Amino acid sequence: MPLSPCYSLVFNGNGGAKKMSIPLRVRIGAVVVALTALGASAVSRAQNAPIKLATVVPDGSIWDKSLKKMGADWSQATGGRVALTVFAGGSQGDEQTVLRKMRLNALQGASLTVVGLGSIDWSFNVFNIPFFFQSYDELNAVVERLTPTLKQRVEAKGFVLVHWGHGGWLQVFSKKPVETVADLKTAKLYTSAGDDRMTQWYKANGFQPRAMAMTDILTGLTTGMLDALPTPPLAALSFQWYKQTPHMLDVGLTPLVGATVLTKRTWDRLSAADHATITEIAARVEKQLQVDVPKQDTLAVTLMGSQGLKVTKATGPEWQQLADALAKNMRGQMVPQDVFDLAVKARDAFRQRKAVPSPK
């Protein structure tokens, strides 16, 4: 059946109006063209996402290089729709400042340590439990188990966890030798500014914390505000902190866990296909850091040793006793009970699997 004409009012120069017949198929065609153009524009807006990402990791370090390589791979794999610019070395401020800028959309991404992540959601403090993990394999197993829960928690705060970053294992670097728990408790110990809960927790457990921005550590060591700091060897070498702290207690406090996060508003601008692409690339970066960082930590100790670093191994039951006491009072105070219990369950399951002999 032929389409009926549709009528439109057209005003003439005398203020009157007359009806003109416009075929409906013409009007439908015009609407389709207009909607197609608008749709194409919307798709373009949804898929293009310039991302400015900040991090405190040193410029030129293994972490900085991995982020920049990831950004180049994102751009290539998405045809330039995802363009990542990395600001390393704390050039955008400490992690609290970076998070404020992200909420204002001045930055769209960050690679944060557990300190910054803990500011988003306190569940990340689970990685701050002293002596909780015994190996990288154990850590990786627990991270894998916790990831779905932690992703949900950060998304509720307006962020998307893209991939984990591995920074090595915290040892105690100090101006004077630290060999006992008593030595550690008398030292002016670095802790991150902006986390008052953690600072008070340290004080309540007999330590002498000195809260300051990570970018101020070298100044704190030089001026005597700090005597000691927990840090991975690779970071001590990269930031040159070891020159002010020529003693290292090999105690294995905690792994330094970090992650790259994007704002949810930025993530939502990307298509589902681009989500899959950048997630796959980020996962490769995560796996590579798991392999490379432990090797770099070992090499860093060797290099600093050649420059005069003295290494002491923590021994004696007092360290395990301290670990048990600290872990016990972190549950529910520093770490949500459900996340704490989930981590313990995953860790103990890993240890049980490891203890069972494999079939021959």
Domain boundaries, the chain: 5-43, 48-355
Q: DSSP 3-state assignment of 284?
A: helix
- Check residue 47 and give its pLDDT: 53
pLDDT at 256 over 70: yes
The pTM for the full model equals 0.80
With a CB cutoff of 8 Å and minimum separation 6, the contacts of 299 are none
Top-confidence residue, 17 or 190? 190
* 305-345: pLDDT as tens digits: 999 999 999 887 888 888 888 888 889 989 999 999 999 99
For residue 354 the two structure tokens come to 């490891």
122 φ, ψ to 5°? -70, -10
Rounded to the nearest 10 degrees, the angle between the axes of helix 272-305 and helix 62-77 is 160
* 150-186: pLDDT as tens digits: 999 999 999 999 999 988 999 999 999 999 999 999 9
With a CB cutoff of 8 Å and minimum separation 6, the contacts of 170 are 230, 231, 232, 252, 253, 254, 255, 256
**Among 54, 166, 148, residue whose Cα is nearest residue 107:** 54
44 contacts 10 by C-beta, under 8 angstroms: no
* 6-39: pLDDT as tens digits: 433 333 444 444 444 445 444 444 444 444 444 4
**Among 67, 163, 59, residue whose Cα is nearest residue 117:** 163
Top-confidence residue, 107 or 206? 107
Mean pLDDT is lowest, of 235-239, 276-280, 335-339, for 235-239
The mean pLDDT of 46-72, rounded to a whole number, is 89
Which stretches within the chain are classed as H helix?
Answer: 24-47, 62-77, 95-103, 114-120, 136-155, 181-186, 196-204, 217-223, 233-238, 264-268, 272-305, 318-328, 337-355
* 63-95: pLDDT as tens digits: 999 999 999 999 999 999 999 999 999 999 999
Architecture of domain 48-355 in this structure = 3-Layer(aba) Sandwich (3.40)
